[in-house]
A and B are shown apart, each in its own frame.
Chain A
Amino acid sequence: MPSKNKVTVTAEPGKQELFITREFDAPRELVYKAHIDPKLYVQWLGPHGYEMILETFEPVSGGKYRYVHKDKDGNKYGFHGTFHAMSLENMVQTFEFEGNPGHVSLDCMTLEELPGGRTKATIHSIFQSVADRDGMVQNGMERGVREGYERLDDILSDMK
């Protein structure tokens, strides 16, 4: 096992943006390919325990995408957006959770080559408001983690 690459999330209080960085032990072309090949994309994007259904995927400028996360009870959570730029250096797309329509974020990703066939990915997400940014997790957009949060509530209520 190589040393674990950690995700860094930088979100300054009161701002509408956040940054995510992560390094990969793989060349940039492969990291990029995993983002634009639908067969590869579905293998890693969906949350654990959910079926990932990629309905539309047109990773070119002006192209659309839509995918659905389906849980084991059949509940579906849809997401869609538009691609604006698609290149190794610059991937720009909009993102909207259909459970919270009208709240759209802009995601810009760059892939930087590092020595030794490694790659650094940086994602810059810009939201319409600070509340949109901070509320993103609680919105139910990422249920796996929200469930973790609900479990915490169980424990905390037992502690009282």
Chain B
Amino acid sequence: MRRDVFHAIADPNRRAILSLLASQRLTLNGVAENFRISRPAVSKHIKILKECGLVVVIPQGRERYCEARFDRLGEVADWVEQYRQIWEQRFTRLDDLLEVMKKEK
């Protein structure tokens, strides 16, 4: 599964979560209150954002706070990184195809 900044921002809910966290840190429940989607669904999106390095979860007392980290968004603005992503996607598909070809051989 792809886990990078491009994957993170491909989903409208994740973009909305990032926008929400841009101005404030919130607990998972605090984030979920702002969405109509279920709490587990929000939790899953937060997990993906975490894996992509765009959100960190900081325990504080009994609560766990989500904070946005925007440093990595610079990757999306960088054309070399964008171009690299194009080839990454393309060659990942080629990998899959090559696996099939190796078995057929």
Contact = CB atoms under 8 A, between A and B. Distances in A.
A147 B88 CA distance: 16
A149 B77 contact: yes
A142 B97 contact: no
B101 A30 contact: yes
Contacts of B99: 26
Number of chain A interface residues as a range: 35 or more
Interface string B25-65: 00000000000000000000000000000000000000000
A132 interface: no
Contact of A24 (B23, B85, B95): B95
A152 interface: yes
Contacts of B86: 47, 137, 142, 144-145
Helix, strand, loop or mixed for chain B's interface?
helix
Nearest to B7: A148
Contact of A20 (B6, B19, B87, B89): B87
Interface string A82-106: 0000000000000000000000000
A151 B83 contact: no
Contact of B76 (A30, A40, A152): A152
A36 interface: no
Contacts of A151: 9-10, 15
Nearest to A6: B88
A73 interface: no
Contacts of B79: 134, 136-138
Contacts of A114: none
Nearest to B22: A159
Given A151-B9, A152-B9, A159-B70, A7 B84 contact: yes
Interface in A8-64: 8-9, 11, 18, 20, 22, 24-26, 30-31, 33-34, 40, 43-45, 47-48
Given A7-B84, A24-B95, A145 B6 contact: yes
A45 B101 contact: no
Contacts of B93: 43-44
A154 B15 contact: yes
Contact of A25 (B80, B85, B89, B95): B95
A158 B94 CA distance: 37
